[in-house]
């Protein structure tokens, strides 16, 4: 996951102090999964609301790309979730068309990412392990 700090921007009164935005890029294959699931609208218009997290849609992508790609996407997603959970900065993503200026926006993004994570886990269930690390998956075969 690639992140870079952008200009420091002031939060509202509840925020108290200046907090930097961290701009995150969403690499492939995770970005390809999100594009595949972009069926409600388009991200340029509706941001993450354009992307379906319906398990059937996510699982269809998983079947199309195979287990190795799903495992890589799950690792990327876990890293992205970790970045968003870090409250020492705000997050913005041009790819997702989303930013977290407040708690509600951060919660919305985390809910979206968690739903996507659940779909990827279900889609990768055929690999024999719930763990996205290759070493665990290899032990299961």
Nearby residues of 81 by Cβ (< 8 Å), 6 or more positions away? 110, 113, 114, 117
Per-residue confidence (pLDDT) for residue 33, from 0 to 100 = 98
Predicted confidence at residue 7, as pLDDT, reads: 35
Torsion from C-alpha of 135, 25, 99, 42, nearest 10 degrees? -100
pLDDT for the residue 18: 74
Q: Is there a domain that residue 137 lies in?
A: no
Residue 139 located in a structural domain? no
Rounded to two decimals, the pTM is 0.78
pLDDT band at 19 (very low <50, low <70, confident <90, very high): confident
Q: Is residue 3 part of a domain?
A: no
The answer to whether residue 42 sits within a structural domain is yes
Question: For the segment 42-63, what is each residue's pLDDT rounded down to a tens digit?
Answer: 999 999 999 999 999 999 999 9
Number of domains in the chain: 1
Query: Who wins on pLDDT, 76 or 141?
Result: 76
**13 lies in a domain?**
no
More confident residue, 139 or 111: 111
Domain that holds residue 43: 25-125
Sign of CA dihedral 59, 61, 63, 68: negative
Does residue 9 form part of some domain? no
Residue 134 has pLDDT above 60, yes or no: no
Q: Is residue 7 part of a domain?
A: no
Looking at residue 72, its pLDDT comes to 98
């Amino acid at each position: 996951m690639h992140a870079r700090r952008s200009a420091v921007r002031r939060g509202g009164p509840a925020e108290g102090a200046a907090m930097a935005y961290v701009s995150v890029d969403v690499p492939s294959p995770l970005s390809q999964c999100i594009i595949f699931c972009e069926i409600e609208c388009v991200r340029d218009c509706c941001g993450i609301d354009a992307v379906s997290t319906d398990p059937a849609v996510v699982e269809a992508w998983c079947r199309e790309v195979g287990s190795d790609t799903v495992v890589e996407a799950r690792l990327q997603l876990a890293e992205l979730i970790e970045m968003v959970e870090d409250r020492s900065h705000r997050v913005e993503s041009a790819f997702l068309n989303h930013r977290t200026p407040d708690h509600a926006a951060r919660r919305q993004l985390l809910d979206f990412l968690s739903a996507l994570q659940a779909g990827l886990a279900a889609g990768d269930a055929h690999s024999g392990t719930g763990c996205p690390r290759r070493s665990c998956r290899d032990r299961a075969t």
